[in-house]
Amino acid sequence: MHGVWANRWTFILAATGSAVGLGNIWKFPYITGENGGGAFVLVYLLCIAVVGIPVMMAEVLIGRRGRMSPINSMRYVTREAGLHGAWTGIGWMGVLAGLMIMAFYSVVAGWALSYIFSTGAGMFAGVDGENAGALFSGLLGNSEKQLFFHSIFSLMTLAIVAAGVTRGLGMVARVLMPFLFVVLIILLGYGIVKGDFVAGLHFLFDFKLDKLSWDGVLIALGHAFFTLSLGMGAIMAYGAYMPDHASVGRTIITVGILDTVVALIAGLAIFPIVFGSPGLVPGEGPGLMFVSLPVAFGNMAGGQLFGTLFFLLVSVAAWSSAVSLIEPGVAWLVESKKFSRVGSSIVLTLFAWLGGVASIYTSFMFDTLDMLTSQIMLPLGGLFIAIFVGWLMRRAIVCSEMDAEGHPLFDIWLFIVRYISPILVALVLVFGLYKKFAG
């Protein structure tokens, strides 16, 4: 009904596009440097191996088994397992979480879009931290400008999703992701030549075991879960378009590796640029992206060009992720309510756009949407997916979808999905809520 990816690599690049977003660029490099460098990277890779990749395989498996939207795929596998219809709620929660994330995510992506033009126009040439901070504060205080770029980004996302699986989502894989990789490598080269590459390398990879606390381990665990876009229906929806002959295991491992490589290269591109500017210290989040980096680019040779390229990279990463936030709901409206793809894309983009408008004018809405999705809905979705595939689907069906008859690694994966992943995802859920309300 929705089409199928042209080949395995189209799925890999589309799923990587969903996974690679703002978190890879503004969060992962910083939390790595702050929590033990190389020691943190090792723990993070372990978390990807025992939580991220196994749960992602389970989510793709459900999507490919159902061959429909997350809601209808969950309904299909629930009936097949002879279970209560309440399990379909996993699909509903994922679709709703995606739309809620899109509401505030597109606002932040709009900031990145606006900075393409600000940097390109030379607004940051020679600025210091105080002036860059004032410019960013000015953007946050300008609701009309935020609304304009939020709307542009929403329309960009609408255009891709409305075009369909092959022409739209496939374009993300064929064009946007290769473009993202090329720009990332160019920025890495710029960081090596113009920045303090050695300082960036030490910050990211020095094995500082004394700086790796249990809190750091839990941070690694949480990021390993969230970076792969788990629990919000996107990967399940993409799995529904996966060719029958493609190996779920090998394909998802490739996605996990690509996502991690992008995050590490982003760090190796960003922090040499930060350390190469006197007086700048590494940070994370909006402060790193919209204050520290503009100062660095504004005071380095070629900074205007490469700063513009950087914000183009950020916008493309956000764009490829945003497409996967809308797609699960669009697929359901096309299947179940007989909407056209264009009509369903317009309805759901408008819904998310209105949420974004509310987020621009009230910070409470922005923070609430962020907290509900990242700290409650996504971990719950991942937890229920692991339990459903590990304990409730018939082993023969799971084995068949994984194409793992007699494969020794199948039993290891099933053990992880049954026992280890649910415990660790539950830890992410509890730890996130504890930090929110007790911290």
Residue-wise pLDDT for 10-57, tens only, equals 999 999 999 999 889 989 999 999 999 999 999 999 999 999 999 999
* Residue 234 near residue 324, CB atoms below 8 Å: yes
**Which pLDDT band holds residue 370 (cuts at 50, 70, 90)?**
very high
d(CA 5, CA 179): 19
CATH number of domain containing 259: 1.20.1740
Question: Distance between alpha carbon 391 and the CA centroid of its chain, in Å?
Answer: 27
Q: What's the mean per-residue pLDDT of the chain?
A: 94
37 has which bridge partners? Answer: 207
Tens digits of residue pLDDT in 240-285: 999 888 899 999 999 999 999 999 999 999 999 999 988 888 888 8
Determine the pLDDT at residue 428: 92
d(CA 17, CA 24): 11
Residue with tokens 């590990």: 390
Asked if the model's pLDDT at residue 179 lies above 70, the reply is yes
d(CA 428, CA 52): 12
Structure tokens at 105: 């995510």
Residue-wise over 314-329: b if at least 16 C-beta within 10 A, else e? bbbbbbbbbbbbbbbb
Residues 6+ apart with CB under 8 A from 363: none
Residues 6+ apart with CB under 8 A from 394: 80, 81
Q: With a threshold of 0.85, does the pTM exceed it?
A: yes
Structure tokens at 337: 């309510």
Structure tokens at 143: 């609701």
Determine the pLDDT at residue 94: 96
d(CA 391, CA 82): 13
CA–CA–CA angle 119, 353, 234 (5° rounding):
90
Determine the pLDDT at residue 407: 83
Tens digits of residue pLDDT in 58-105: 999 999 999 999 999 999 999 999 999 999 999 999 999 999 999 999
Residue with tokens 């090998």: 250
User: Quick check: helix, strand or coil at residue 43?
Assistant: helix
User: Quick check: helix, strand or coil at residue 20?
Assistant: coil
Determine the pLDDT at residue 2: 64
Asked if the model's pLDDT at residue 359 lies above 90, the reply is yes
Nearest Cα residue to 369 out of 99, 71, 141: 99
Tens digits of residue pLDDT in 291-312: 999 999 999 999 999 999 999 9
Asked if the model's pLDDT at residue 121 lies above 70, the reply is yes
Query: Per the domain annotation, does 376 fall within a domain?
Result: yes
d(CA 410, CA 414): 6
Domain count, the chain: 1
Question: In 10 A of CB 185, how many CB atoms?
Answer: 12
* Residue 106 near residue 352, CB atoms below 8 Å: yes
Query: Per the domain annotation, does 333 fall within a domain?
Result: yes
Determine the pLDDT at residue 188: 96
Determine the pLDDT at residue 5: 87
Tens digits of residue pLDDT in 222-252: 999 899 999 999 999 999 999 888 899 999 9
Residue with tokens 């979808």: 401
d(CA 42, CA 333): 42
d(CA 262, CA 321): 14
Determine the pLDDT at residue 311: 96
Determine the pLDDT at residue 243: 87
* Residue 175 near residue 370, CB atoms below 8 Å: no
* Residue 18 near residue 262, CB atoms below 8 Å: no
Determine the pLDDT at residue 376: 94
* Residue 389 near residue 421, CB atoms below 8 Å: no
Asked if the model's pLDDT at residue 1 lies above 70, the reply is no
User: Side chain identity at 110, as an amino acid letter?
Assistant: G
Query: Per the domain annotation, does 3 fall within a domain?
Result: no
Nearest Cα residue to 55 out of 174, 209, 189, 226: 226
Query: Per the domain annotation, does 21 fall within a domain?
Result: yes
Q: Which letter does DSSP use for residue 87 in this model?
A: G
Determine the pLDDT at residue 439: 63
Boundaries of domain holding 380:
8-438
CA-atom Rg of the chain in angstroms:
21
Determine the pLDDT at residue 229: 92
* Residue 201 near residue 29, CB atoms below 8 Å: no
